[in-house]
Structure 1
Amino acid sequence: MVHTCVVAGCRNRRTPGTTLSFYRFPRDPERKQRWIAAVNREGWVPNDGSRLCSTHFISGKQVKNPRSPDYVPSVFTAAPLSPEMKEPGALEILDKQEARVEAANALLFLQGQGRPVVDVQGQEKLAGEKEKEQQAIAEESGSSSLSTDEDDDDSVSESKKGKFAQTSDAPVKFDDMLKALKKENQALRESVDKMSLSENSLRNDAEKVKFYTGLPNYFVLETVMWLLAPHMDGMKNVKLSKFQQLLLTLMRLRLDLRNQDLAYRFGVKIGTVTRTVHRMVNIMSSTLVPTAVFWPSRAELRKNLPAALRSSHPDCAVIIDCFTVPFEEPVSRVTQQQQRVLPASQEARTTYNVLKYLIGVAPQGVVTFVSRGVLGNVSDKSLAEGCGFLCKLLPGDVVLASRDLNIGESVAARGALFRIAGSYQGEADGISESSPPADTSSETASVQRHVERVISMVKQRYAMLTGPVESPFTTASERTSNLSTFDKIVQVACALNNLCISAAPLE
């Protein structure tokens, strides 16, 4: 189909061999209206066959960039005749080509795609370079004139795509990037799990379990959790799981961490830590202590009696001693009358600022009895007679100690015997003999080492027992009980120690 330019006075038309391009009026209403205004034909409206030739654009072709001067046709002065009607001279062709080069440079500068080329008139060029530029422009204009305006638009876009494809980098392999990111994500998750205080991080790390809880392995920790879980259902704590509550409490006992430190580690408030520790200690005291700290039967004691006592004290039921724990401030159980009668010496003040406990250790190395804490100025006799220890004894039992606790009469009233390790039996019973056995001193040292080792083991395993005891733990935890929270902590520590495989048998 032959198209003729619609501009008044322009006689250019599409004919075979022409170098001109003809463009359809744009579909965009705003741009189309600007084209109509540029044609300047009063009352004229374009139709589907209306075309505009390329001579009315500065660069010789339309540009779809709104910032380009060729977005709208602007050359309408002295429209040149078609090549069929007039053969232009060489000077005219050169002027036209130079104008197109200048327009193209301005267009590139406006689009930010390159640097403007120095004006042709201001730069001397070689004849060969001018000829190459003229041939390139002629080839570009000739190729664009072989198709319709829609074909021209498509060819321009395709050529741009081709140039972009040639200059762009190789396509990114998104599958490889996705695999690498997934691998990195998995490694980060494993690292976070390993550093966190969770069940997964402790399950296969016995050293970590031992460091944070004092228990030998995860199996024992899981057993303790299984015993306590049914009694934790009533505890409303949305921040911490049951396992985290147990772990937090064990870390408090094991490492003697401050509440603020635990609050940071578990991401909770200090009040949550305090309530969790007190509640868990109460639950473990009522559930775990009766299970792990109990008075063994006489048959069980005889069956597992160490060889060190089998000949000298075959009826030994328990080895007792006292240990103390310092506290920060005077406890609430101290009355004003007690404070007035206390001696003023430094030694008396030292014994007053400690809590004293009576501990009973079986010859096999497990703790079988722990008393409640009393002030350090209370005598051993008063402590032993008032803590319920004597009620555990059966007639014929032998209570062994490394020193005289002055409770022989009280023990005898229960039908049992109190013996000091290393003392001759007749001397302990009030019978004078001139030749005591020769191995008494070694036996005394062995029994004393046995009890001290168990007490030291409990304190080393749970550093909170080394003191000083904070004042909130020295008050009675329940109105119906005379046990303070720290008394329960001592009992719980002894119960957890009995669950460990590192008990200290008598040598």
Structure 2
Amino acid sequence: MSSTRFKCLRREGATSQYCCVPLCDISSRCNSVISFHTFPLDMEIRKKWIHSIRRADYIITPNSRVCSRHFKSDDLIEPSTPTGRRLLKKGAVPTLFEWNNFATSTPRRTGVWQRREVSPPQNEDPLPMEFQQPEHDYCSSPVPAAVDLSLDRTEELQKEVERLKKQVEELSVHHSFCLGRFAASDDDIRFFTRFMTYSHLMAFWRLIEPATNRMVRVTRAKGATKSGEVGATGNASGHSLPPIDEFFLFMVHLSLGLTQRDLAQRFNIHQSTVSRIITTWANFLYTLLGSVRIWMSEEMVKAHMPKEFQDYPDTQVIIDCTELRCQTPSSLLLQSEVFSSYKSHCTFKGLIGMAPHGAVTFISSLYAGSVSDKELLKQSGIVPLLKPNMAIMVDKGFLVDDCVPCKVYRPAFLSKREQMSADEVRKTQSIARLRVHVERLIRRVKQHKLFDTVIPLSITGSINQLYTVACLLVNYQNGPLVKAWATD
């Protein structure tokens, strides 16, 4: 090759173009002497170009260029003006390359530097393989080199990939807040969901899972209203949690009373998504579990009657009231409605009924805390379920004998007397020992910490559903109130 070197002059502000010929490092940022030419549209001539520059697998793009250094001077048409564009003659093919010892001097514009003849190619021998790799193609992604692996090595790598995938999945579950993370610990399951064990929880999930396909979601219901579709079901778009983890989120909210912001950070989702999931599952479980009849017939109650009730064999239900403390409303009228003189605070009040063997058999709606026990009993809807041959067991504050058509078992009270008779004392103690179990049942409901705190007014729209679901879940989450009452 000639000892003369081509000097590149940098052009400020020029648009960068690059030559795609291997071993050529010319770009349009050097100077205006070099011109860059696109590949011809004629497929035959284009094939000759690709063959000539020795890039058989090259993918041509609109930005692919070949600089004028690789063309003979006879193939170039000089512009008629200094600012004109240099063109190629029709059918011109690049033939001057470094591997065939082309002259290092580059064809130049007339009047800028002295023109010198480019020596014709002297050697057409194939370029060695190591020189056929693209060095600086900025227009397309480099083709990865093929890796020659033996069959054994390939199988070994595949096993390694599978092992790493499994490890990544395990780490993902371990670091994410989901049901799978706590599946191995029954204590954690008890803490987060109030279900006794993980297997107990999964048994309940298998009962409700088939119905989740028909779940009406809050977001989907709103979308259906806007589009005129009624009864839209199924998963709404954009949900990032699987159904079982949505159920787990709802149970964590119910069991621990965590705020929506806390849950959003734990489950790594948006706070508004948490709100929609809670409302959706509250309505879903309220409808699904509420469709199961929990009021028991006389025959079934007697079939499961514990021997401790032998003195009261006709007892159908043990009833009591419970109050949930709520936020004080700003309206004085509302304050007077929900203020409970018994709790000295604003409350929601509900009535709950328990069968003698410990199952929840009646749940009323929540009422304002100012309502009396007697009025709550009348409005709850339990009276029409009672028959003359039945009996109910109540606390001594329930003076409801004139409201129900059946017998009432109630502890005696003094009522202006100095003391009770011996029979009254024995009867009071006997009823108190049996009636105390309804207090234990209510305590199980309030183990859901959402109801053990001050309920914000912002969730009053769904508090009735949440309370009813918590009461119904007691029949599924726990064992019998008394182990001796367990039945097959």
Same fold (TM over 0.5): yes
Q: Check if 1:391 corresponds to 2:384.
A: yes
Q: CA, structure 1 residues 377+437, in 2 after alignment: closer, same or farther (shift >3 Å)?
A: closer
Q: Which residue of 2 aligns with 1:374?
A: 367
Secondary structure at the aligned position of 1:277 is classed as helix
Q: Per the alignment, do residues 281 and 47 of structure 1 end up closer, same or farther by CA in structure 2, a change over 3 Å counting?
A: closer
2:192: which partner in 1?
A: 212
Q: 1:469 to 1:261 in 2, by over 3 A?
A: same
- Tell me how far 1:330 sits from its aligned partner: 2.5
Is residue 467 from structure 1 mapped to residue 453 from structure 2 by the alignment? yes
| Shift, 1:294, TM fit | 1.6
Give 1:256-271 correspondences, 5 Å limit: 256-271=257-272
Q: Is residue 327 of structure 2 the alignment partner of residue 360 of structure 1?
A: no
Residue in structure 1 matched with residue 427 of structure 2 by the alignment: 440
Unaligned runs of 5+ in 1: 1-25, 36-41, 50-149, 155-172, 476-484
CA contact (8 A) 2:193 2:251 kept: yes
Residue 469 of structure 2: aligned partner? 492
> Quick one: structure 1 residues 331 and 442, their matched pair in 2 at CA, closer, same or farther if it must change by over 3 Å?
farther
Closer, same or farther in 2 for the Cα pair 1:368/1:33, shift >3 Å? same
Deviations 1:432-464 (A, max 9, x none): x9651664354233124211111111211x211
Asked whether the 8 Å contact 1:204–1:218 carries over to 2, the reply is: no
For 1:39, the equivalent position in structure 2 comes to: none
**Residue in 1 aligned with 2:301?**
301
Secondary structure (helix, strand or coil) at the match of 1:217 reads: helix
Q: Distance in 2 between matches of 1:382 and 1:44?
A: 111
Decide whether aligned partners of structure 1 residues 435 and 491 sit closer, same or farther in structure 2, where only a CA change above 3 A counts: same
Larger Rg: 1
Q: 1:351 aligns with which of 344, 364, 371?
A: 344
Matched pairs, number: 331
Pairs within 5 Å for 1:20-35: 28=98, 33=103
State how far apart, in whole Å, the 2-side matches of 1:231 and 1:223 are.
Answer: 14
The residue aligned with 1:252 is 253
The aligned residue for residue 282 of structure 2 is 281
Partners in 1 of 2:471 and 2:244 — Cα distance?
21
Q: Which digits, 9 at most, give the CA deviation of each residue in 1:18-77, with x for residues without a partner?
A: xxxxxxxx9837956469xxxxxx99989979xxxxxxxxxxxxxxxxxxxxxxxxxxxx
Distance 1:238 1:420 in 2: 55
Query: CA offsets, 1:191-233, max 9 Å, x none?
Result: 2124435565566665554333323331222323334443343
CA distance in 2 between partners of 1:438 and 1:304 (Å):
28
- 2:437 is aligned with what amino acid? H
Does residue 420 (structure 1) correspond to residue 426 (structure 2)? The answer is no
8 Å contact from structure 1 (residues 228, 287) kept in 2 = no
Q: SS of the counterpart of 2:272?
A: helix
Q: Residues of 2 paired with 1:48 and 1:337: CA distance?
A: 104
- Tell me which amino acid in the other structure corresponds to 1:248: L
Shift of 1:269: 2.1
* Conserved? CA contact 1:359–1:367, under 8 Å: yes
Q: What SS does structure 2 have at the residue aligned with 1:364?
A: coil
Q: Secondary structure at the match of 1:257?
A: coil
Asked if 2 retains the 8 angstrom alpha-carbon contact of 1:225 and 1:246, the reply is no
Q: d(CA) in 1 for partners of 2:300 and 2:167? A: 52
1:453 is matched with 440
Q: Is 1:226 matched with 2:210?
A: yes
Distance 1:235 1:313, change over 3 A: same
The one-letter amino acid of 1:369's match is F
CA distance in 2, matches of 1:350, 1:199: 37
- Distance across 2 between alignment mates of 1:288 and 1:451: 21
In structure 2, how many angstroms separate the alpha carbons of the residues matched to 1:282 and 1:265? 23
CA distance 1:229–1:206, shift in 2 (3 Å):
farther
SS of the residue 2:475 aligns to: helix
TM-score with structure 2 length normalisation? Answer: 0.58
Counterpart secondary structure, 2:191: helix
Question: Residue in 2 aligned with 1:117?
Answer: none
Q: Which moved more, 1:323-332 or 1:444-453?
A: 323-332
Q: Is this contact kept in 2: 1:294–1:368, CA < 8 A?
A: yes
Which digits, 9 at most, give the CA deviation of each residue in 1:350-386, with x for residues without a partner? 5341112111111111111122222323221111112
Gaps of 5+ in 2: 1-95, 106-115, 130-151, 217-232
Q: What amino acid is the match of 2:320? A: D
What is aligned with 2:321? 322
Superposition CA RMSD, Å = 4.1
Q: Residues 275, 29 of structure 1: CA spacing in aligned structure 2 closer, same or farther, 3 A cutoff?
A: closer
Tell me which protein shows more helix as a share of its residues: 1
Equivalent AA in structure 2 for residue 447 of structure 1? L
Structure 2 residue aligned with 1:401 = 394
Deviations 1:275-303 (A, max 9, x none): 22122212211221231x62100000011
The DSSP-based 3-state class of the residue aligned with 1:410 is coil
- The normalised TM-score by structure 1 is 0.56
Question: What amino acid maps onto 1:451 in structure 2?
Answer: V
In the TM superposition, what are the counterparts of 1:116-265 in structure 2 within 5 Å?
182-197=162-177, 201=181, 206-215=186-195, 216-232=200-216, 233-234=233-234, 236-239=236-239, 240-265=241-266
